[in-house]
Amino acid sequence: MTQAFYTGLSGLKASSEAINVITDNLANTSTVGFRGYNTEFSNMFETALNTTSGGSPVNSSIGVGTDIRAIVMDQSQGVLQNSEKSTDLAILGDGWFGVQSREQNYYTRNGNFTFDANRDLVAEDGAFVLGTMGTNIANGVLTNQLFEIPLTDVKAQEKLSFPKELYFPPTATDEAIFSGNLNLTNDVTAVSAPVITADGTLNSLRLEFTKVDPVVPPGVQWNVVATTQNRDGSVIYDTQNGVVSFSENGALISNTLTSINNDGSSISINLGTGFDGVISIDAQDSLVSSTNGFEEGDLLGYDINKNGEVIATFTNGRQSDVGKIALFHFQNDQGLERVNGSRFLASKNSGDPIFFKDANGNNINATDLINGQLEGSNVRLEVGLTVLIIKQRAYDSISKLITTADQMLQKALSMDA
């Protein structure tokens, strides 16, 4: 009977702790990035039974008391919830966001991020999001247009802070490429292309093709006049002349027009070779152009894409990566120390945070992200309520065990000798 008391008391304690874990899970079903927990039980002691055969395959022991062996984190994926912000992120698979508050680094699955008034990328409580800053911003000027930013060392991750104002300097056009067809039935054909000067002014490059008369067979020849001018044509900066010759099949075989000046900037004129570029056959005109270089631009805002890259968008239509959100990994996620609903600290059991590496040894996030969505709690309400009922019934049953043991003890004490 004494054993029944000890067994019952340990069972009540273990069941009570299990109920606390379940109720905490249920209380956080709407917490973004919450990880639920499950309890694992074990016997406190075991008493072996005497059996007639020492080689019996049956477990011949009785558990004496129970205890919570471990409270285990459920690492299954939470339900994805749509969001109206491109700065909201959800992790698909393994990994943790890093945030910094009061010089302490925390780890979370809650990707509810935004840019504050200082253009710092922060969590909903103001903690700074950790990642790698690009090296392409200096004194409010974008020094280089980047399309990818590699992660630096895991210990070198810093808060992602961006300037309120960012200037995208102009780049002068240094090449103009033309392609398409010069119709043999036309005598004059023209095509224009936008070109940028070194100071960011938008000008126009115009090519006018005039068929040579008389044409020298077997192919066809065209005189071409190139002109650079301002947008309304009131100022001409340079004029160059050349001749382009085509074979009897329409392939370009020679071109004497190579470059032109654009208000101080030299532009290479590329008409292609053979059938790669401008051709001249008896078909519809289809001349098109493309140029490099771009105008200056001012910052419109920042966004985050599914790769965790922070992208700056400018008034000239250009974009550039300026930072990258880091995803941290651990040797043992179960060893993370929970601070609150969705935030954790690294511990000796979890090990220090690490980055995965690609085949070339470069640090990578190694996990896909979805922007415009958040990962909700991975606790299923119906499952949690069912388990709660089971644990409560177990608690009631153990309470009856103690009551029965008490009644038996009272009867034993009241029996006459």
Q: pLDDT tens-digit profile of 26-48?
A: 988 889 999 998 887 666 655 55
Same domain for 226 and 190, yes or no, is yes
244-274 pLDDT per residue, tens: 999 999 999 999 999 999 999 999 999 999 9
50-70 pLDDT per residue, tens: 555 555 565 555 666 676 677
Which of the pair, 387 or 376, is modelled with greater confidence? 376
Which of the pair, 302 or 55, is modelled with greater confidence? 302
Q: What is the pTM of this model?
A: 0.75
Same domain for 41 and 129, yes or no, is no
HSE of 108, CA atoms in CB hemisphere, 13 A: 33
Same domain for 117 and 219, yes or no, is no
Same domain for 339 and 307, yes or no, is yes
Same domain for 371 and 392, yes or no, is no
Return the structure tokens found at 39: 């309890």
Q: How far apart are CA 386 and CA 384, in angstroms?
A: 5
Mean pLDDT of 344-367: 94
Residue range of the domain that includes 399: 2-76+378-414
Same domain for 35 and 96, yes or no, is no
Mean pLDDT of 303-330: 94
Those residues whose C-beta lies under 8 Å from the C-beta of residue 234, and which sit 6 or more positions away, are none
Q: What's residue 24's pLDDT?
A: 85
Same domain for 209 and 269, yes or no, is yes
Kindly tell me if the per-residue pLDDT of 383 is higher than 70. Answer: yes
Same domain for 10 and 56, yes or no, is yes
Q: 252, 271, 289 — which closes off a domain?
A: 289
Same domain for 184 and 229, yes or no, is yes
Mean pLDDT of 377-388: 81
Q: What's residue 71's pLDDT?
A: 81
Kindly tell me if the per-residue pLDDT of 12 is higher than 80. Answer: no
Same domain for 180 and 284, yes or no, is yes
Same domain for 61 and 126, yes or no, is no
Residue 292 sits at φ, ψ, to 5 deg, of: -95, -170
Structural domain count, the chain:
3
Q: Are 187 and 208 in contact (CB under 8 A)?
A: no
Chain-centroid distance, C-alpha 140: 25
Q: 289, 315, 339 — which closes off a domain?
A: 289
Q: 289, 322, 343 — which closes off a domain?
A: 289
Same domain for 370 and 382, yes or no, is no
